[in-house]
Amino acid sequence: MQIDFENKQLERVLIGVNAIASAMVVATFILLFGFDPPLLSTQILYSAQLFLLFVFITEKILRCINCTSKKQFLRNYWFEIPLLLALLITVLGGGRWFALEKSVASDVRHFAVGIYLVLQVVLKLCRTSIELAASGKNPTQTLIASFVVLILSGAGILMLPTASANGQSLRFIDALFTSTSATCVTGLIVKDTGSDFSLMGQVVILSLIQLGGLGIVIFGAVLALLLGQAFSLRESAAMQDLLSANTLSKIGNMIAFIFGGTVLIEAVGAFCLYGMWDDVPGGSGIHSQLFCSIFHSISAFCNAGFGLFENSLIDYSRSWQTYLIICPLIILGGLGFAVLFDLFNIMADRIKRILKKTFSKQYRFSMATPKKMLLQTKVVLVTSLILIILGTAAILLFETYSFRDNHPNNVNILDAFFQSVTSRTAGFNTVDISDMTSSSKLVIILLMFVGGSPGSSAGGIKTVTLAVILMTLMATLRKRGDVEIFKRSIRIIVVGRAITVTMLFSAVLLITSLALSITENSNGFSFSDILFEAGSALGTVGLSTGITSTLTTAGKLIIIIVMLIGRLGPLTLMAALTFNLKPARYNYPEESLIVG
């Protein structure tokens, strides 16, 4: 993707012009659609967009003239030609070549210009994010910066009057809280998504969930691959670091799988959920049903936990889609793309072998060894299954045999299963969390602490970390020198990383609970509710006992910071802070210590 230019000074000027023009494009759309009526005349704003269109086209022409290889430039920006042709045909053909009325033709022209400008800004942002990640600096800092920019941008849009259902601007702290919760795919809310936000606000929240779930850098890489642009070696290395991939050769395939798998799974989920809703906020028409299905499908797969209903999925606790569609979406999203990619490759290899055996007899005795499941996949699948089963059994047990007076037993095995699945990552609920027993809440806190699996949008210490910690304990009890999982030895650096993650998460959870107990002292919340809220924010789960909306401003700011820490992970933040530290090249003499 790297292009060389003859005049470096001109290129720097064009980059600055690009940044200013992109900011002006965003400003025109905010003024057009963020206020009702617009703050400036629509004619002035449309004229400004035409001027910005001219700026973008001129910038492309100058860059093409300035580049050292015109062929390489056209190969990288080939999509600009069909885009400009489509724009030219739409602008010139409206009312001339197409039978459109004058007013309709004018609206079509403005719409076409707007679409082109939006695409330009999105492509420039995505390209910039990839270049920053491959700049040679700490890629985790780029990841953190992308989340912060996305959160602040989302908060600014949610503050617009047209984003609220009542047409009033949202308070900054509430907009920032909602934007952070959506971007960090948490699900904690201070405003009801279905009733307090307009369709525009709900679309913004849904976009933040999708971008936050995939990551803005990964989203930019997906667009680059869709446009046929190859990664440089440095860009591939940056993507390998962000995706935790094993080899550089699999980066392109991995990113393509992430995009294709996400679209396919979310589309199938939305199709299966369609028709489930009987009380859609804003109406019960076809469009409302479809949007509700898409919203909950994306929210479930991205493990966000946002819903359009005030009481989550309690009213749909008897619908089969809740357990056969929502639960699989949550589980698939919580496994991580690396595990899904490995399972996909294994399944594709098995199908290929079956086809070769069936239709090509000459390959029966010359086929390669079948692909084996990676250790990472085995650990994730087994640990996730055990956690789901144990969580279901514990919740069902504590809710059925409760010693609390007048405690209604409204939890059956399906509800216990659903809460066991969603408590580790998603945040939907089919029962009232505040009405559950203290024992069940403790189980949910533990599940939230563990979270999902590495490479997913889930929070927590992750399933693999838990497995390594437990196997370390087993190795110590068995007096084994190495930590072993499925007859494979685990490197000491991995064990140290698992212990570090667990200790950091524990420290953040305790500090957050202590801070909330101070800021929320006037509200009279019990410490168990505060601990539950802190665990939900850190685990990016979104379950709550009902205290989120009544938090003080200081409490909301604490939860905002903790949600970001939970999404990025303490280890990522530590890596960003210690990136330039070089490891010591010496060791001190050993001496024994007595522990325990």
Half-sphere CA count of 219, side-chain side, radius 13 A: 22
**How far apart (Å, rounded) are the C-alpha atoms in residues 422 and 445?**
12
Mind giving me the DSSP string for 244-269? T-S-GGGHHHHHHHHHHHHHHHHHHH
Closest to 234 in 3D by CA, of 74, 75, 581, 1: 1
**How far apart (Å, rounded) are the C-alpha atoms in residues 149 and 211?**
12
Say if 213 falls within a structural domain: no
466 sits in which H/E element? helix 463-477
Say if 559 falls within a structural domain: yes
CB 30, CB 160: distance < 8 Å: yes
- Predicted confidence at residue 425, as pLDDT, reads 83
Domain hosting 467: range is 373-576
Half-sphere CA count of 106, side-chain side, radius 13 A: 6
Say if 54 falls within a structural domain: yes
Give the end of a domain, one of 133, 167, 184: 133
- Please list the helix, strand and coil fractions of the chain in percent, rounded to the nearest 5, in that order: 70, 0, 30
- Predicted confidence at residue 77, as pLDDT, reads 75
CB 438, CB 321: distance < 8 Å: no
**How far apart (Å, rounded) are the C-alpha atoms in residues 459 and 451?**
5
**How far apart (Å, rounded) are the C-alpha atoms in residues 268 and 288?**
18
Say if 447 falls within a structural domain: yes
Half-sphere CA count of 488, side-chain side, radius 13 A: 12
Cα diameter, the chain: 89
- Predicted confidence at residue 73, as pLDDT, reads 75
Return the structure tokens found at 338: 């690396």
- Predicted confidence at residue 138, as pLDDT, reads 62
**How far apart (Å, rounded) are the C-alpha atoms in residues 89 and 463?**
54
Say if 395 falls within a structural domain: yes
N residues, the chain:
596
Closest to 537 in 3D by CA, of 73, 187, 113: 187
How many other C-beta atoms are found inside a 10 Å radius of the C-beta of residue 157?
24
Q: Count of domains in the chain?
A: 2
Give the end of a domain, one of 133, 166, 189: 133
End-to-end Cα separation, the chain, in angstroms: 56
- Predicted confidence at residue 361, as pLDDT, reads 64
Mind giving me the DSSP string for 523-581? GT--HHHHHHHHHHHHTT----SS-GGG--HHHHHHHHHHHHHHHH-HHHHHHHHSTTP
Say if 163 falls within a structural domain: no
- Predicted confidence at residue 218, as pLDDT, reads 64
- Predicted confidence at residue 133, as pLDDT, reads 59
Say if 174 falls within a structural domain: no
- Write the CA distances from 587 to 280, 497, 594, integer angstroms: 64, 19, 21
- Write the CA distances from 512 to 516, 527, 537, integer angstroms: 6, 12, 10
Instruction: Tell me if the bond preceding 37 is cis, omega within 30° of 0.
Output: yes
C-alpha radius of gyration, the chain, whole number:
26
Pairing of strands 483-485, 488-490: antiparallel
**How far apart (Å, rounded) are the C-alpha atoms in residues 554 and 556?**
5
SS3 18: helix
**How far apart (Å, rounded) are the C-alpha atoms in residues 377 and 335?**
9
How many other C-beta atoms are found inside a 10 Å radius of the C-beta of residue 305?
28
Tell the residue number behind the tokens 């859609």, with chain if given.
Answer: 280
- Predicted confidence at residue 276, as pLDDT, reads 82
**How far apart (Å, rounded) are the C-alpha atoms in residues 187 and 544?**
9
Tell the residue number behind the tokens 């595990």, with chain if given.
Answer: 339
The DSSP letter of residue 524 is T
How many secondary structure helices (H) and strands (E) does the chain include? 24, 2
CB 559, CB 188: distance < 8 Å: yes
The DSSP letter of residue 583 is P
Give the end of a domain, one of 133, 167, 191: 133
Say if 241 falls within a structural domain: no
- For the chain, residues with pLDDT lower than 70 are 1-3, 93-104, 129-140, 215-252, 279-287, 360-368, 402-409, 570-584, 586, 596
- Write the CA distances from 450 to 386, 563, 571, integer angstroms: 12, 15, 15
